[in-house]
Structure 1
Amino acid sequence: MTDEEVLHEFRSCDALLEGHFVLSSGRHSAHYLQCARVLMNPDRADRLARALAQKLPREVRAAIDVVVSPAMGGIIIGHEMGRALGKDALFLERPTGTFELRRGFRFEAGAKVLMVEDVVTTGLSSREAIAAVAREGGKVIAEAALVDRSEGTADLGVPFYPLIDINFPTYAEDEIPSALAARPVTRPGSRTI
């Protein structure tokens, strides 16, 4: 799937939004990718997951024991990646602010894990999720995401395979351009849920 084909999938369901958004990372942006909208259609979610799975090197695909994703944003694409790879798909939750496996989810000690996210901006959620997998006895061998909007700066500590790189500028609270600051703020992420 080409970058333009991926962007077409987002545009076709109004999942590429414009406004003033505070991202889960706390940074501000004039653009937001609402992955829940792009993934709401099962056929589209399947196409995107299969394309993402093809981005993984053959040796990574062969080594994966289980797919893990952080709630909320990563659940759907994580599940679809599990289907595309023929592996179980678990998810992490933050009932007390720290990621953990719940609902009876578990994996064998030393299990090789593919971490799957919807969007990576700073990599903070991914690093927290990777640490949670380590606490549970697993080893994240790679991460895959629909979108990398870190401009290549996210250091996850593992190989990272995004379907597409989208480099919309993001701003710290004290860097917001006046035109963006004048727009009403929306907090569309799931970090506070």
Structure 2
Amino acid sequence: MQDEDVLAEFRNCHALLEGHFILSSGLHSAKYLQCARVLMDPARAARLANALVEKIPTEIRDQIDIVVSPAMGGVIIGHEMGRALGTEAVFLERPEGTFELRRGFALKRGQKVLMMEDVVTTGLSSREAITAIGEAGGEVIAAGALVDRSSGTAAFDIPFFPLITLNVPSYQEGELPAELAAISAEKPGSRKVV
């Protein structure tokens, strides 16, 4: 699947939005990728997950024991990645502000993990999830995402495999370009702004 094919999947379900958006990271952007919409069709979610699995080198793919994703955004794509890889998939939650496994989910010590996100903007949530997975006994050997919109700023100490990389600028509140500041901001994500 080429980048244009991935973007077509987002466009076909009206999941690539344009306007003024406040991202979960608190940054502002003129574009928003509504991954919940692109993943609401199970066949589309499966196509995207299968395409991402193909981007992960076989030597890494063959080591993955389980997929762990942060809730809320990573749950569906994490599950689809588990299906595509033939592994279990669980998710982390933030009941008290930090990620943890709940609902009876547990990792075996040393279990090899693919940490899976929907969209990476700053990488902060991903790094927090990787830390929580390590504290729960897992060993994160790779990270994945449907979309990397970090413009190369999200750095990890493990291999990172996004299905698509988009260079969409994002801005701090006080640094908005005039054309973006002139539009009312929307907050379409699932988390409160940090």
TM-score range, shorter chain: over 0.9
**More moved, 76-85 vs 181-190:** 181-190
The match for 1:191 is: 191
Aligned-residue RMSD, C-alpha: 1.0
Q: Secondary structure at the match of 1:24?
A: coil
The match for 1:66 is: 66
Matches within 5 A, 1:47-126: 47-126=47-126
The CA distance in 1 between the partners of 2:158 and 2:175, in whole Å, is 30
Q: Secondary structure at the match of 2:87?
A: coil
Percent identical pairs in the alignment equals 68
TM-score (norm 1): 0.98
The match for 2:127 is: 127
Equivalent AA in structure 2 for residue 6 of structure 1: V
Shift of 1:152: 1.6
Shift of 1:156: 2.1
After superposition, the C-alpha distances for 1:98-135 in whole angstroms (9 at most, x for unaligned) are: 00000000121111100000000110000000000011
The match for 2:160 is: 160
**More moved, 183-192 vs 41-50:** 183-192
The CA distance in 2 between the partners of 1:5 and 1:178, in whole Å, is 32
Give yes or no for the alignment of 1:32 onto 2:21. no
Shift of 1:188: 1.4
Shift of 1:185: 1.0
The CA distance in 2 between the partners of 1:138 and 1:192, in whole Å, is 28
After superposition, the C-alpha distances for 1:19-78 in whole angstroms (9 at most, x for unaligned) are: 111111111000000000000000000000000011101011011010000000000000
Q: Secondary structure at the match of 1:137?
A: coil
The match for 2:170 is: 170
The match for 2:16 is: 16
Q: Secondary structure at the match of 2:62?
A: helix
| Structure 1: runs of 5 or more not aligned | none
The match for 2:179 is: 179
The CA distance in 2 between the partners of 1:152 and 1:20, in whole Å, is 22
Equivalent AA in structure 2 for residue 162 of structure 1: P
The CA distance in 1 between the partners of 2:182 and 2:151, in whole Å, is 25
The match for 2:5 is: 5
Shift of 1:153: 1.6
After superposition, the C-alpha distances for 1:1-27 in whole angstroms (9 at most, x for unaligned) are: 000000000000000001111111111
Aligned length: 193
The CA distance in 1 between the partners of 2:68 and 2:88, in whole Å, is 8
Q: Secondary structure at the match of 1:19?
A: strand
Matches within 5 A, 1:138-153: 138-153=138-153
